């Protein structure tokens, strides 16, 4: 067990906890991409989760772990988080399925349709301030004054272990996998998958893909400690945001399990989104397309290899897809 608190044992515990609430997603072969790159290109369809993204795994694992350890009464005041997208939806869904009250704090900038989607999953929403930071101040108030329990988006071993169950599934479905390519932001997804893969098949390469601008994990790994960066608008918006200046788990874990790290441009993300829709008839968000972006933009030589790409979520609007198509020139 390392100081990040994630081990093969905690991954298997997570799998047991989430089994009846989370989908064991398909790993499918892409005929078009396999032919194009002269490789076996496999797609892990986290888009099939009830909330449309992998985040549900971590949220369910954390809530069930809390109930197991402290009893349901400890969560009577409810759970709370701040998120504009996949994490907020995941917490709302997980809490509802377990009969626990949930509050999702959002800034006034979050579009009404996203707010409505979270409320439809049974959570209360609070519109606070004009930024994610101001929304998070409300989270901290609810924790300290009302005894609510914070469900962090990535920097917690229970969240990471939940996401890491994807890695266990990959190893079962393709034991001789050569490389897995994972979008990298806060590090919960890559850290979890990497922990599973490296424990079971150390020879498998774990490749992280970050945005070309505003990538906090990239800067933090370079600096050797957590660094704050300015967020920029991106088609891969789920890969924006910081890693937390008091990061306790994911920075150390990512450093341990990741073999190589690439950055991708907006045009590469746009092209990959359109390619996946065209070739696979799958609508994916920008953050879910970056594995393909990395192969295309960096000319990765994957010939003869078995490569898994994590299609992490489908939270994309038609307007964003139109933007991607325009940028890709398609």
Residues noted as catalytic: 55, 312
| Strand, helix or coil for residue 283 | coil
Is 50 exposed, middle or buried (CB count within 10 Å of its CB: 0-12, 13-18, 19+)? middle
Q: Tell me the C-alpha distance between 268 and 264, whole Å.
A: 6
Q: Tell me the C-alpha distance between 154 and 68, whole Å.
A: 20
SS3 string, 126-163, reads EECCCCHHHHHHHHHHHHHHHCCEECCCCCCHHHHHHH
Is 103 exposed, middle or buried (CB count within 10 Å of its CB: 0-12, 13-18, 19+)? buried
| Strand, helix or coil for residue 183 | strand
Contacts 24+ apart (CB under 8 A), 65-70: 65/13, 65/14, 65/17, 65/158, 66/149, 66/158, 67/98, 68/17
Is 187 exposed, middle or buried (CB count within 10 Å of its CB: 0-12, 13-18, 19+)? buried
Cβ atoms of residues 40 and 59 within 8 Å: no
Q: Tell me the C-alpha distance between 64 and 287, whole Å.
A: 27
Cβ atoms of residues 11 and 196 within 8 Å: yes
- How many CB atoms lie under 10 A from the CB of residue 39? 21
- How many CB atoms lie under 10 A from the CB of residue 327? 18
Strands 124-127 and 205-211: unpaired
């Amino acid at each position: 067990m390392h100081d990040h608190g994630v081990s093969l044992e905690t991954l298997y515990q997570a799998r047991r906890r989430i089994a009846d609430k989370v989908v064991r997603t398909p790993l499918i072969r892409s005929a078009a991409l396999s032919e194009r790159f002269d490789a076996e290109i496999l797609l892990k369809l986290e888009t099939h989760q009830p909330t449309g993204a992998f985040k549900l795994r971590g949220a369910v694992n954390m809530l069930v772990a809390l109930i197991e350890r402290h009893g349901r009464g400890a969560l009577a005041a409810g759970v709370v988080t701040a998120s504009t997208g996949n994490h907020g939806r995941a917490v709302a869904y997980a809490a509802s399925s377990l009969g626990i009250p949930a509050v999702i704090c959002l800034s006034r900038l979050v579009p009404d349709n996203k707010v409505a989607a979270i409320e439809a999953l049974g959570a209360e929403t609070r519109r606070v301030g004009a930024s994610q930071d101001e929304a998070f101040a409300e989270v901290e108030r609810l924790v300290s004054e009302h005894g609510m329990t914070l469900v962090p988006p990535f920097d917690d071993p229970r969240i990471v272990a939940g996401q890491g169950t994807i890695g266990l599934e990959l190893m079962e479905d393709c034991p001789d996998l050569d490389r897995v390519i994972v979008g990298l932001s806060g590090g919960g997804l890559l850290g979890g998958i990497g922990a599973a893969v490296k424990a079971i098949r150390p020879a498998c390469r774990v490749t992280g893909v970050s945005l070309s601008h505003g990538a906090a994990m990239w800067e933090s790994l370079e600096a050797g400690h957590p660094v704050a960066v300015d967020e920029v608008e991106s088609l891969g918006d789920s890969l924006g945001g910081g890693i937390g200046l008091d990061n306790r788990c994911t920075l150390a874990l990512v450093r341990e399990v990741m073999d190589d790290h690439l950055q991708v441009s907006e045009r590469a993300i746009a092209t990959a989104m359109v390619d996946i829709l065209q070739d696979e008839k799958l609508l994916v968000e920008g953050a879910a397309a970056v594995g393909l972006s990395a192969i295309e933009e960096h000319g990765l030589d994957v010939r003869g290899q078995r490569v898994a790409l994590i299609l992490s979520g489908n939270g994309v609007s038609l307007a964003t897809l139109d933007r991607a198509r325009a940028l890709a020139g398609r």
